[in-house]
Amino acid sequence: MYVLIAGGGKVGANVTRSLLRQNHEVTIIEQRSERFHVLEEEFDYRVQRGDATELHVLERAGIGRPPDLVLAVTGDDEDNIVICEIAQKRYLAPKVIARVNDPRNQTHFDLLGVAPTVCATSSIMALIEHEVPESDIIRLLQLRDDELEIVEVPIGADSPSSGKRIEQLKMPDGTRVISVAREGRSEIATGSTKLAPGDRVLAILQPGCEAELRRVLLKH
């Protein structure tokens, strides 16, 4: 496939190298002169110099074909948003991936429909949560190949989910309630299952969703 990469920092350069090794066609755009020359040494004609938010620079790099995938991985979130907007809406690029530098800007990417996004800080925070979980969620089983895990969550009297039916809870994406154990008996959870203090909820989730699950089930 043809991939256009905006931003030739560490991320852009490493992704370029990896994609070339997989025999994909890549063009990478870098604005800073010094960095451009370093990249040119390695990637030769595949590097274009310029501001990737300027239409003529994007056109010179082949955005008009359009590329199968556009990666906006500059160190500036506004630039990444604008690159994706232009790529998707003007040149009808079928897929974009954007880098979020400051996790506080995630909401802007979401609002403007720029997706999917990758944020190193958020990923590390999710891993911290995963590796050093707060003790209220008990990890029972890790399905490593499926990248899923099963956890047990004890519902307390002050949990926001207590007294609510499961269909009333806004369960986060990537999580599902499997069953509810109460007084030694377990029941498969349905939308109408009502949670009560003392319940032990069994849930399946994707790694990194613990914080969201905790927020919905346990914390106000």
Question: CA Rg, the chain, in Å?
Answer: 23
Q: Which is nearer to another protein, 111 or 157 (CB)?
A: 111
Confirm or reject binding of residue 84 to another protein (CB under 8 A): no
CB of 163 to another protein, least distance (A): 32
6 or 137: CB nearest another protein: 6
Asked if residue 185 binds another protein (CB under 8 A), the reply is: no
Cis amide bond preceding 154, omega within 30: no
CB of 105 to another protein, least distance (A): 7
Q: Which of 11, 4, 88, 93 is nearest to 50 (CA)?
A: 4
- Does residue 65 bind another protein (CB under 8 A)? no
53 binds another protein (CB under 8 A): yes
Q: Read off the DSSP letter of residue 92.
A: -
Task: Calculate ∠ Cα 30-32-37, nearest 5°.
Answer: 75
- Whether the CA torsion 99, 102, 104, 105 is positive or negative: it is negative
Given the rule CB under 8 A, which of 13-21, 71-79, 139-147, 185-193 is the region that contacts another protein? Answer: 71-79
Report whether 191 contacts 110 (CB < 8 A): no
Shortest spacing between CB 106 and another protein, in angstroms: 11
Tokens 């955005």, residue located: 63
Q: For residues 58 and 137, which CB has a smaller minimum distance to another protein in the complex?
A: 58
CB 103 within 8 A of CB 109: no
Q: Which residues of 147-167 are buried (b: 16+ CB within 10 A; e: fewer)?
A: ebbebbbbbeeebebbebebe
Amino acid letter at 214?
A: R
Residue number with CB closer to another protein (54 or 158): 54
Q: How far is the CB of 67 from another protein (least distance, A)?
A: 18
Task: Pick the binder of another protein from 42, 78, 147, 187 (CB under 8 A).
Answer: 78
Asked if residue 79 binds another protein (CB under 8 A), the reply is yes
Nearer to another protein among residue 72 and residue 205 (C-beta): 72
Q: Which residues bind another protein (CB under 8 A)?
A: 53-56, 76-79, 81-82, 85-86, 89-90, 104-105, 107-108, 111-112
